[in-house]
Amino acid sequence: MFPAFSKVVTLDNLFILLKGALLSLGLAAGSLLIGLAIAILIALLRFSTKKICHIIANIYVEFFRGTPMLVQIMYLFTVVPIVISMIVGHRVRINPVIVGLIALSLNSGAYQAEYIRGGINGVDKGQKEACETLGLSRTDMMRFVILPQAFRLAIPSMVGEFVTLIKDSSLLMTIGALELFGQANKIGNIYYDYMTPETISIFYYLIMTLTISYFARKLEKRLARSV
């Protein structure tokens, strides 16, 4: 068991893994926020009266939800730079962490758009009618009445998305981003012991995801009380 346990479990290595965990957390948080911006943009497109806007929004969502995330990441890392190179005329160097952040954000945006849609659908129909009878414009109705309530309904799903992103950030190992699992693998390569660092990485993941889930449950209870 654990071929190089004592060599791997040093303060230095634990710290390296911690740095990886923080990068995973940062990637997840960053893509959650950028994804939220994308999702809001999609919600606005869907709210538009122009049909083309709906089509664009739907293509985006269906594309990113309908293809594997690993494929999206690899495609963005390997194929897209070639295309860019052909356009700009010289080789472009790209940072795997940046590519990873973009890939996670694009993907998460599609999912979060669906959560917002679910939230909007969950707002009572009477709210819209009340706005109508008071003469509020469509934009004001969305801004002051529907979206605030929709966000509240979508919060549990959004927290779930944060947890998902922490886990999915491990996929970025495949393009060489040194997030938690990437670091664990790198340490494994050095000591020819994958068992030890990868087991430790599991604990690191669990600490992150369980902590978030714990606070999510508390938040949900509080929201349930206030509605």
Partner 1 sequence: MSNTTMIKVEHISKQFGSLKALDDVSLEVSKGEIVCLLGPSGSGKSTLIRAINGLETPESGKIYFEGEEYDKNNAAKYHQQRLKMGFVFQHFNLFPNMTVLENLTLAQIRVKKVDEKQAKDTAMRYLTRVGLSDKRDEYPNKLSGGQKQRVAIARSLCMNPDIMLFDEPTSALDPEMVEEVLEVMQSLGKEGMTMIIVTHEMGFARTVADRVVFLEDGHIVEENEAEAFFSHPQSERAQLFLSKVMHQ
- What residues line the site for partner 1 (CB under 8 A)? 124, 126-127, 129-130, 132-137, 140, 144-145, 148-149, 152, 226-227
**Identity of the residue, 46 or 152, whose beta carbon is nearer to partner 1 in the bound complex:** 152
Q: Please, what is the minimum distance in Å from the beta carbon of residue 49 to partner 1? A: 13
**Identity of the residue, 145 or 216, whose beta carbon is nearer to partner 1 in the bound complex:** 145
- Could you tell me if 92 and 84 are in contact, meaning their C-beta atoms sit under 8 angstroms apart? yes
Q: Please, what is the minimum distance in Å from the beta carbon of residue 225 to partner 1? A: 9
**Identity of the residue, 94 or 123, whose beta carbon is nearer to partner 1 in the bound complex:** 123
The three-class DSSP label of residue 193 is coil
Q: Please, what is the minimum distance in Å from the beta carbon of residue 120 to partner 1? A: 14
**Identity of the residue, 95 or 139, whose beta carbon is nearer to partner 1 in the bound complex:** 139
How far apart CA 13 and CA 5 sit, in angstroms, is 11
Q: Please, what is the minimum distance in Å from the beta carbon of residue 130 to partner 1? A: 4
**Identity of the residue, 93 or 222, whose beta carbon is nearer to partner 1 in the bound complex:** 222
Number of C-beta neighbours around residue 5 at 10 A? 13
In one letter, which amino acid is 200?
Answer: I
Taking alpha carbons only, the member of 30, 169, 179 closest to residue 109 is: 30
Q: Please, what is the minimum distance in Å from the beta carbon of residue 151 to partner 1? A: 9
- Residue 172: left (phi > 0), alpha (psi -120 to 50), or beta? alpha
List Cα–Cα distances, 177 to 16, 117, 131, 154, in angstroms: 14, 32, 49, 30
How far apart CA 101 and CA 186 sit, in angstroms, is 20
Backbone angles phi, psi at 179, to 5 degrees: -80, -170
